[in-house]
Structure 1
């Protein structure tokens, strides 16, 4: 039986990331027998509130990848306007391709088949550096980001960073 295109593509992307790691994250399979479920470790970007954190997340790819985007969920607790309370990441490039029914995003900002795990992770690291408070997945975090960035928001993020360091290698 031949492997589906999506599996070949994922295998190639994983090999490339292992051969040429990208600063800020590492990626691997959750289970060696399942190319569609990845675990990523994201290092909190320098000069951000997330600096020093080690955040674990899972990427789940659909069988028709790269025509459709993977889902991404933080396993490590993280306080961020664009991550909902379940840990699901809400950024444009992970949204289904095509028109946005709410008219908020342009089609080219949404998922395109040219995206790779690397481009997704660079977008997520960018999201940590510069949250989008206008399109929150976590309304409470977005409100604190806007109104009390250096107080309550910063305290909650610092707690998540500390917790991530304690649980990073469990």
Structure 2
């Protein structure tokens, strides 16, 4: 996968999201000249602690996307077991592909090149609604849930 191919793929995914928005989030480029840095706005899912909130996050894609996952960081402060205190999101879908050296995750739960910004965001919205307390990034938030 060349950098050109990854840029074309990201451009296509952005165009698709602009044409067919997905409920619960919106996405765009932080800087129009950089396809590898996106800003997303997530609407707090209904019937959760986050309902009514709007949370800003950044997605930073590697140059070899989709072979490797992007990093996701909340810019808006959020208290959640699967978001560390720096705002970094810790969920299986964003973990490097392959075997988990700790044995917690199956390879198919981790990053796969078939994932898109849409599938990532649906997973993050699902994580907000249903935290994974088994492997918290923020232990204090996990304990208080």
TM-score (norm 2): 0.96
User: Cα RMSD between the aligned structures?
Assistant: 2.9
Q: How far apart are the structure 2 equivalents of 1:112 and 1:5?
A: 17
Alignment coverage as a number of residue pairs = 143
Deviation at 1:125, TM superposition (A): 0.1
SS at match of 1:22: coil
Given that 2:3 and 2:64 are in contact with CA atoms closer than 8 Å, whether structure 1 keeps it comes out as no
- Does the C-alpha gap of structure 1 residues 104 and 2 become closer, same or farther in structure 2, counting only changes over 3 Å? closer
Superposed counterparts of 1:28-43, under 5 Å:
28-43=28-43
Deviation at 1:34, TM superposition (A): 0.1
Structure with the bigger percentage of helix: 1
Deviations, residues 53-108 of structure 1 (Å, cap 9, x unaligned): 00000000000000000000000000000000000000000000000000000000
Q: Which has the larger radius of gyration?
A: 1
SS at match of 1:4: helix
TM-score (norm 1): 0.82
Deviations, residues 111-151 of structure 1 (Å, cap 9, x unaligned): 00000000000000000000001100001100xxxxxxxxx
Q: How far apart are the structure 2 equivalents of 1:3 and 1:100?
A: 27
Given that 2:48 and 2:129 are in contact with CA atoms closer than 8 Å, whether structure 1 keeps it comes out as yes
Consecutive aligned runs of 4 or more in structure 1 exceeding 2 Å deviation:
none
